[in-house]
Structure 1
Amino acid sequence: MPTISKDLVNHITIQPHDAGQRLDNYLIKILKGVPKSHIHRIIRGGEVRINKGRTKADARIEAGDVIRIPPIRIAEKSAITQKIIPARNFEIVFEDDALLVVNKPSGVAVHGGSGVSFGVIEQLRQARPDAKYLELVHRLDKDTSGLLMVAKKRSALVKLHEMLRNDHPKKVYLALGVGIWQRANRHIKLPLFKYTGAAGEKMVRVDENGQSAHTIFQVLDTFSGSLTHSVGISALSLVQATLKTGRTHQIRVHMQSQNCPIAGDERYGDYQANKRLQKLGLKRMFLHAHILELDHPITGERLYLKAELPQDLQILLANLKVA
């Protein structure tokens, strides 16, 4: 990341790993704390230039380009703020010079924002100060655990984003639903519409005006014994969910739509059932990114990556099976 002086004109030479990005996206990344509207204003006003010429926000930057950035007020992080982002190394499932795949724990956001000061990507950058490039390929909800891809090269990020738009890689999740999942409901194809909830939170609902969404479900096990009955729950269903599209909260809302919401889901789940499940030791949402199958974005090698269920979820299932 280049060093920017807020009081002077800056001339930044684009490095190969940053080539191919839109100018506005690049400036948003390096001018931390500067509103997007201000960045677009200085581009339109001709204060930002590429190789001494006026440019547009959607111009693609190339290696060797010299970007002129005018004096600009940058909201700098205080020393106190920097200290509260602890360096953290997560369990590595796969790593080479282009791609890093970690096993994200539940309860950790993938990035800062929306009231969260930092997430996986910020902690990884703190733990790897010499890394030239670390960018999230996709996202997982804060309470979802499992496989998370991080690109170590821009070329890998661009290729992976292209792959994601074309139903690749294969992403398989494990989820525990409250209720009986009907085995006939294998393919759920219900459009999803994003909206803002009463408290300003991001929400999704099934709506004919939403984006197309397709999840394939397979029932792995059903629990309806003395343990579930002891807390007032008739049945629980362990399902495997394979994403054919990657919409926000897709599995959570598709399961809710079939009257089998995910256990522990505070947003789309059954509030009373969640309280009862806490007595069985479930303190989180039971949704885990279990398997990734993909062609390596650079070498083309076929990768099969797997993250086993966290121990607390394994213990819960083991208790349900013997009860």
Structure 2
Amino acid sequence: MTKPPSRGGSGRSRTGPGGPARPPRARTGPRNTARDAAERAAGLVVSSRAGPAPRAAFGRDTSDASPWERDEAPARVPAGKFPPKPKSERPRSDKPRSDRPRTGAAERPATRTAQEGRPTARPRRHEGRDERRETGDAPRRAPAESGSAATSPPTRRALREATAEALATGVQTLEVTPDEAGMRIDRFLSARFPQLPFTRIQSLVRKGELRVNGKRAKAADRVEPGASVRVPPLSLEARAPAPGSPRAEGDLAFLRSLILYEDQDMMVLNKPFGLAVQGGSGTTRHVDGLLEAMRDKDGQKPRLVHRLDKDTAGCLIIAKTRLAAATLAKTFRSRAARKIYWALAAGVPKVRQGRISTYLAKEEIGDSDARMRVAKHGDEGASHALTYYAVVDQAGQKLAWLSLKPVTGRTHQLRAHAAHIGHPLVGDPKYFDIENWELPGGLQNRLHLLARRIVIPHPRTAKPIDVTAPLPPHMAQSWNLLGFDAARYDPIVEAPEA
């Protein structure tokens, strides 16, 4: 009795009598996956039938688990063309098949006769192809690229466009180029994806959604050449105004009005009171966003190298090139930049010149806008903070004009140190805690803190750059009412450097 074939099989044995075993057919999976469709839509790969796919400019996805769980992206159709309809949707004739006219050679002359009254359509001529048919020549192919043109690395603009196009389709793994080595992970992503708000990038880092070489990335991590950065699926947003738009022109004019110093490598802005340096929760207008209006033709945007609090006015350094940004950042880390602040404090310190040396830590760990408290050495999150101060002038025993020189750069360092010695800064909503203290008439209840002066080596020539910022309007009003002279000698210049 013959054994019936299994369902879906042919009923024949895989091996013939005395013949070698037939190898099992390789299972290649579906031909069109979501990842293939997304990459084809982004123009980053070609079909595997035409040979191996070229390496994408932004790197390859090397994660073990398949991240492509999103719906397959629709394939793009050229403008003016539509995909052919399936046979089941094509219109059919109502006549029976036996009654349909045959389109053989006998009926074709009759069809031509019926159309003799119409003008004959001019035959379409394809230049090049028709000549080859007449001469019998083979089609010519463009010569393959050779030399440095075929192996030249992609430009930063090409990398940014490729990653921006592909990121919206799913998880991607980006490869760090030598030019991007040493960048912080958040700055690296901001440079690759200018459409993505910086607050979104910071949220990704904080939640641990970014992986560098398979490990969770921290905000302070710096990328190395050849490293793989795994980015989760994101929806890109248009962050910057279009070049030449009224908004972009307005932002550019506003930034130009703030410039205190500028050359081809850097510039120093006079940041006004109330303007944030970077975006945050509910912050839509900030310096980093305004700098989008200053992008050059290669897509490079000026970079921040340090920060000021939102309500602190004064000198803010901006790097115009990546090399300048790296050099200036190193200068700040090595404490080679000298900074002088002016402030208006409540009361007058008994010691007119001195130093404040404490450890500072956040009251709530993880909150970027939390108050800083004076801590002990060894406390969680505690860092040493050192500030020199001097009393420049005073208004009775009510108010004092302080000049401050921070050696370290901790969060809210000057504001926390002023409150620590019992003389908080006027208008400080976080650290002013003196009870029954009334603001003198005519003074505005705004933070009176100015980044007055900065001296820093030039990132390229190493020559010192010395820039001074004027008093903001609310502090100028207070200085005028209190009789302070901004040209008065500032004794803080005699303070030590460390």
Please tell me the TM-score bracket, short chain as reference: 0.7 to 0.9
- Matches of 2:436 and 2:296 in 1, distance apart? 44
Question: Quick one: which amino acid aligns to residue 248 of structure 1?
Answer: T
**Counterpart-to-counterpart distance in 2, 1:141 and 1:24:** 20
Check the 8 A contact 1:197/1:203 in 2, yes or no: no
Q: Secondary structure at the match of 1:38?
A: coil
Q: Hey, what does 2:143 align to over in structure 1? A: none
Further displaced range: 118-127 or 95-104: 118-127
RMSD of the TM alignment (CA)? 3.5
Structure 2 counterpart of 1:290: 452
- Secondary structure at 1:216's aligned position in 2? strand
Q: 1:115 aligns with which of 260, 272, 282?
A: 282
Unaligned runs of 5+ in 2: 1-156, 216-220, 485-498
Residue 192 of structure 2: aligned partner = 30
* Match in the other structure for 1:262: 425
- Give the equivalent residue in structure 2 for 1:228: none
Q: Which structure features the higher share of strand residues?
A: 1
Q: How many residues align?
A: 296
Secondary structure of the corresponding residue to residue 371 of structure 2: strand
Q: Distance in 1 between matches of 2:230 and 2:416?
A: 46
Q: How far 1:195 sits from its partner (Å)?
A: 3.0
Q: Give the one of 348, 351, 361 matched to 1:183.
A: 351
- 2:384 pairs with one of 200, 212, 219: 212
- Shift of residue 80, structure 1, vs aligned partner: 11
Moved more, 257-266 or 4-13: 4-13
Amino acid at match of 1:211: S
Name the CA distance, whole Å, in 2 between partners of 1:139 and 1:122.
14
Q: What's the counterpart of residue 338 of structure 2? A: 170
* More deviation, 156-165/248-257: 156-165
- TM-score, normalising length: structure 2: 0.53
More divergent stretch after superposition (279-288 vs 190-199): 190-199
Q: Which moved more, 1:180-189 or 1:260-269?
A: 180-189
Among 210, 217, 235, the residue aligned to 1:39: 210
Query: What do residues 40-76 of structure 1 show as CA deviations (whole Å, max 9, x unaligned)?
Result: 18x529xxxxxxxxxxx86513xxx7x9888952232
Deviations 1:199-258 (A, max 9, x none): 98421011113211111101110102xxxxxxxxx5100010011111110100100011
Note if 1:152 corresponds to 2:320: yes
Q: CA deviation at 1:266?
A: 0.5
Say whether the 8 Å CA contact 1:27–1:39 is kept in structure 2: no
Which residue pairs with 2:483 in the alignment? 321
Q: Which protein has greater RCO, CA pairs closer than 8 Å, 6+ apart?
A: 1
Q: Could you report, residue by residue, the CA deviation over 1:11-48 in whole angstroms, capped at 9, with x for unpaired residues?
A: 9797776344366752365343462333318x529xxx
Match of 1:76 among 223, 236, 248: 236
**Inter-partner Cα distance in structure 1 for 2:224 and 2:315:** 31
1:60 paired residue number: 224
Q: Output the CA distance in 1 between the equivalents of 2:417 and 2:240.
A: 42
Rg bigger for which structure? 2
- Between 86-95 and 312-321, the greater mean CA deviation after superposition: 86-95
Alignment partner for residue 310 of structure 1, among 472, 481, 490? 472
Inter-CA distance 242–79: structure 2 relative to 1 (3 Å threshold): closer
Alignment of 1:77-116 (within 5 A): 77=237, 87=251, 88-89=254-255, 90-116=257-283
Tell me how far 1:270 sits from its aligned partner. 3.6
Contact kept, 8 Å, 2:353 with 2:391, in 1: the verdict is: no
- Deviation, 1:319, is 1.1
SS of the aligned residue for 2:384 comes to coil
CA distance in 2, matches of 1:59, 1:102: 29
Q: Distance in 1 between the 2:235 and 2:275 partners? A: 25
Per-residue CA distance 1:168-203 (angstroms, 9 max, x = gap): 210000000001122355111111112329998421
Distance in 2 of aligned mates of 1:12 and 1:220: 53
Q: Check the 8 A contact 2:373/2:416 in 1, yes or no.
A: yes
For 1:222 and 1:272, the matched residues in 2 are separated by: 21
The two structures have a TM-score, normalised by structure 1, of 0.78
What is the rounded CA distance, in whole Å, between the counterparts of 1:167 and 1:148 in structure 2? 16
Q: One-letter code of the match for 1:213?
A: A
